[in-house]
Chain A
Amino acid sequence: MNCQNCRTEIEEMELGEPLTERAGEHLASCTPCRAFHEERLSLRRLVGSLEPVSAPPDFDFRLRARLAAAGNGKSPRFWRSLIGTAPAMTLAATFALLVAGVVLYNQFRSGTSENKQASDITSQKSNPKVETPEVGPAIVTAESNPAPEVASPAEKQKTSPAVLTAGGDKQRATTVAGNRNNNRRQQNRPNVDGSPISSNELAATGARHIKPADDLQLASNAIELPVRSTSQPMRVFVNDRSGGRRAVILEPVVFGSQDLTVGGGARLASSQGIW
């Protein structure tokens, strides 16, 4: 037996197990291998002298708590394993969810703003018709051809700007009370419940109803006249069933702010009637 084989046997032997006869013969004749044998035995005894440590007394208790916690936390473990196994896929899915969320949020916001704008426009259209008849809409309900005719400047000079007339002997005129400029802002506010405005300074009562004449058959559909006009009054001619012709003078409807000019006249701040 050579030294290498002998040392291999020394390395692989169990502690307390005797060497083979051939290895023993080699050790008896080889001093370095004998020293190696003694050194290895000493080292193994030294390492083997380490006393085993024991688990703490509360090991079982802590283990039970840990098992319970692990049983309750299965979903985080699943996500953790998913992230660990496919990080790229998880990142892509997260990004896609983020983009989808942003798109949905933008759509929601734009839809909300459009609805708000539409509701504003509707309220602007409906408020004068229902709740502020004094600055009332330029709606003519008649059976005849409702094509409006804009009065000439000469006729405009003749007519009073503050009078709305419905023709014939049954015609009723409604005079709009003064101080319109004072009440305009208050009237433009939406009065939801229809109750009179309780402000002391800007109190206004509802306008009188204009009942149509007996011979004036109302059409089922209202005709909306363009009010995008100048600050001059507009004159509309309406034919009734009896063949009579009635002239309706529409006072200029002014919304929003006004710029009072010298001479008491008022002109629209916006030429388009949109504020």
Chain B
Amino acid sequence: MSTLTSINDLRFGTAVPQTVVAEEPVSDHALLEATRTGDEAAFAELVSRYRNQITSYIYRMTNDYDGAVDMAQETFVRVYQAADRYQTSYAFSTYIYRIATNLAISELRKRKRRRMVSLTGFFQQPEGQEAREFNPPDSGPLQDVVLVDAERRTAVARAISTLPEKYRAPLVLRDVEGKSYEEIARVLETSEGTVKSRISRARGFLREKLSAYL
């Protein structure tokens, strides 16, 4: 019988060495396949993976947080309802970004038809025209760096929101979301050449609007 020399020698049961097995993350396709069979946990996992991305993407497209959340939810509702018709030929991210893009563009067109009067829209210009600066850069010395960054981000967001929708979506997908040209082309259901051309044009617009910050 061994003698206890310290409290660390007191063990409850036999220690079993556990091998740590790195679990491979379940693919989006597998999660959607499980969603088809009624596995709500699988759908919840899909939502947790993409809710922030989709909300952020739609917010950059529409510059309206509440509307972006609403449309992000509508995106997931459509994914859930169309789970049976989903085809695994493309990545799930392409599929869900396409739905989100269509919703966002549809909302932008609705706003255009309704001619909604918004506070920010008052400072926006029609397509192709120079926008007046809502927050013109202060030429004087600024004390607070955080304030400067916040102002710059606001200006960039507003500049993006003034872009025509056909330039806005590829620019956000490329420069904000970091998607590849190939994926953007699949999301927008157009050619890569068109995507590159539109992104270049969008950057040209932004350079004019944000010249004070460059």
Contacts and interface: CB of A to CB of B under 8 A. Distances in A.
Interface of A: 11-12, 39-40, 42-44, 46-56, 59-60, 62-63, 66-67, 70
With most chain B CB atoms within 10 A of its CB, the pick from A40, A51, A52 is A52
B175 interface: yes
Contacts of A53: 52, 55-56, 59, 65, 68
A48 B174 CA distance: 9
Contacts of B160: 47
Interface residues of chain A: helix, strand, loop or mixed (majority): helix
Interface in B156-202: 156-157, 160, 171, 175-176, 178, 181, 196, 199-200
B51 A59 contact: yes
B91 interface: no
Given A47-B175, A54-B52, A11 B199 contact: yes
Interface stretch (B73-81, B103-111, B114-122): B73-81
A37 to B, nearest CB: 12
Given A42-B214, A49-B149, A67-B77, 15 more contacts: A11-B200, A39-B207, A40-B203, A43-B210, A43-B214, A46-B210, A47-B160, A47-B176, A49-B153, A50-B157, A51-B153, A55-B51, A59-B69, A63-B73, A70-B81
A54 B203 CA distance: 26
A11 B77 contact: no
Interface residues of chain B: helix, strand, loop or mixed (majority): helix
B47 to A, nearest CB: 6
A49 B152 contact: yes
Contact of B156 (A11, A49, A62, A70): A49
Kindly state the interface size class of chain B when it binds its partner.
35 or more
A55 B55 contact: yes
Given A56-B69, A66-B73, A50 B60 contact: yes
B213 interface: yes
B56 A54 contact: yes
Contacts of A54: 52, 55-56
Contact of B206 (A12, A47, A51, A66): A47
Nearest to A59: B51
B44 interface: yes
A66 B72 CA distance: 12
Given A11-B196, A52-B56, A63-B47, A43 B80 contact: no
Contacts of B153: 49-51
30 contacts: A11-B203, A39-B214, A42-B214, A44-B175, A46-B214, A47-B171, A47-B176, A47-B206, A49-B149, A49-B153, A49-B156, A50-B60, A50-B153, A52-B56, A53-B52, A53-B55, A53-B65, A54-B52, A54-B56, A55-B52, A55-B69, A55-B72, A59-B72, A59-B73, A60-B47, A63-B73, A63-B76, A63-B77, A67-B77, A70-B81
